[in-house]
Amino acid sequence: MPPPTDMSNTTRTGELSGKVAVVTGASSGIGQAIARELAQAGADVVIHTRANQTGAEQTAAQLAAAGAEATVLKADLADPSSHEPLAAAAWDWRGGVDIWINNAGADVLTGPAAELAFADKLHLLWQVDVTATISLSRLVGARMRQRGISGDDKPVILNMGWDQAELGMAGDSGEMFAAVKGAIMAFTRSLAQSLAPAVRVNCLAPGWIKTEWADSASDYWQQRAIRESLLARWGTPDDVARVACFLASPAAGFITGQIVPINGGFKSAAD
């Protein structure tokens, strides 16, 4: 696990001042970076984790250094019975939620799950990435719509897709992630219509992002990630976090129902 980011000299910008945000899967990687970015913008943050209590507490410490308040909630999103209690606990922390980011996803590329059979990996991904995203979005979206906010400063739900889901990628991982993330992207478009005009709903679609898997990826994948970006580099969790913060902010008040690629400009192998 990387050392805590020093945020002691961070100035809160205030664009999300007074907002309450929830980031699922925020104990490391992209989720942790998103939580930091929201805190820097003025939000107080609910940090969700499945089991990484140490990482979640590290995230909370980083947010506290930025002057934000944070709380940690644990839930195994693969268990559907955890969804309503998580939504309720997050909502009750400050009497409402302004920003909900469904970042959590099953890790089937590293750790014990990497050894599972294809069908078992797909089942786990579907439970965590798809079913939990849909369930939590509907639970929280209903609460957001019922509470209502006048004006253009609407509550926000952000989901996590994949930039190549609609193009496809050969291989087991490509097949799994295209099916799973493609479902999330399609759901996002429909949910945005269901909750409009009360709630804005968008989907982040990261490309090659330097996460834990990328650190140990083979030279083939290292070169492919650079080759398939017009900016010729890996993306970082902070790249994703900055876009998430923008979409959660009033500056994106006229954006909903969109899939937003974060990939440095995708360049196909034929280009």
Q: What is the pLDDT of residue 8?
A: 47
pLDDT tens readout for residues 170-193 = 999 999 999 999 999 999 999 999
Please report which confidence band the pLDDT of residue 46 belongs to, taking 50, 70 and 90 as the band edges.
very high
Angle, helices 172-195 vs 132-147, to 10°: value is 20
Place of tokens 């979640």: 56
| Average of per-residue pLDDT across 67-92 | 97
Q: What is the pLDDT of residue 218?
A: 84
CATH class (in words) of the domain with range 20-262: alpha beta
Rounded Cα gap, residues 234 and 241, in angstroms: 15
Give the number of other CB atoms < 10 A from CB of residue 83: 19
∠19-86-48 over CA atoms, to 5°? 65
| Average of per-residue pLDDT across 102-123 | 93
What is the average pLDDT value for the chain, to the nearest integer? 92
Query: Distances from the Cα of 205 to the Cαs of 12, 155, 166, 258, in angstroms?
Result: 26, 20, 11, 10
Where is pLDDT greater, at 246 or 232? Answer: 246
Query: Distances from the Cα of 175 to the Cαs of 1, 121, 236, in angstroms?
Result: 29, 11, 24
Please report which confidence band the pLDDT of residue 1 belongs to, taking 50, 70 and 90 as the band edges.
very low
| Average of per-residue pLDDT across 40-54 | 96
Rounded Cα gap, residues 222 and 224, in angstroms: 6
Q: What is the pLDDT of residue 85?
A: 98
Rounded Cα gap, residues 174 and 25, in angstroms: 22
Rounded Cα gap, residues 200 and 183, in angstroms: 19
Rounded Cα gap, residues 65 and 81, in angstroms: 34
Please report which confidence band the pLDDT of residue 95 belongs to, taking 50, 70 and 90 as the band edges.
very high
Q: What is the pLDDT of residue 167?
A: 87
Please report which confidence band the pLDDT of residue 3 belongs to, taking 50, 70 and 90 as the band edges.
very low
Domain ranges of the chain: 20-262
Q: What is the pLDDT of residue 28?
A: 94
Q: If residue 226 lies in a helix (H) or strand (E), which one and from where to where?
A: helix 219-227
